A and B are shown apart, each in its own frame.
Chain A
Amino acid sequence: AQSVTQLDSQVPVFEEAPVELRCNYSSSVSVYLFWYVQYPNQGLQLLLKYLSGSTLVESINGFEAEFNKSQTSFHLRKPSVHISDTAEYFCAVRYTGGGNKLTFGTGTQLKVEL
Chain B
Amino acid sequence: KAGVTQTPRYLIKTRGQQVTLSCSPISGHRSVSWYQQTPGQGLQFLFEYFSETQRNKGNFPGRFSGRQFSNSRSEMNVSTLELGDSALYLCASSLGQASAYNEQFFGPGTRLTVL
Q: Which of these, B4, B45, B48, B108, contacts A103 with CB under 8 Å?
A: B45
Q: Cβ of B33 < 8 Å from any Cβ of A?
A: yes
> What band does the interface of chain A fall in when counting residues whose beta carbon is under 8 Å from B?
20 to 34
Q: Which residues in window 76-114 of A have CB below 8 A to B?
A: 90, 92, 94, 98-107
Q: Cβ of A7 < 8 Å from any Cβ of B?
A: no
Segment at the interface with B among A11-19, A44-52, A67-75: A44-52
Contact A99 to B90, CB < 8 A, known contacts A45-B106, A94-B100: no
Q: Cβ of B2 < 8 Å from any Cβ of A?
A: no
Contact B94 A100 (CB under 8 A): yes
Contact A99 B108 (CB under 8 A): no
Contacts of A51 in B (CB 8 A): 100-101
B interface: dominant SS: strand
Contacts of A45 in B (CB 8 A): 106
> What band does the interface of chain B fall in when counting residues whose beta carbon is under 8 Å from A?
20 to 34
Q: How far is the CB of B16 from chain A (nearest CB, A)?
A: 28
Q: Cβ of A62 < 8 Å from any Cβ of B?
A: no
Q: Which of these, B31, B45, B55, B105, contacts A102 with CB under 8 Å?
A: B45
* B58 to chain A: closest residue by CB: A101
* B4 to chain A: closest residue by CB: A43
* A106 to chain B: closest residue by CB: B42
Q: Which residues in window 40-56 of B have CB below 8 A to A?
A: 42-45, 48, 50, 55-56
Contacts of B56 in A (CB 8 A): 98-101
Q: Which residues in window 20-71 of B have CB below 8 A to A?
A: 31, 33, 35, 42-45, 48, 50, 55-56, 58
Q: Cβ of B104 < 8 Å from any Cβ of A?
A: yes
Give CA–CA (A18, B113) in the complex, Å. 38
Contact B98 A99 (CB under 8 A): yes
Q: Which residues in window 39-68 of A have CB below 8 A to B?
A: 41-46, 49, 51
Contacts of B105 in A (CB 8 A): 46
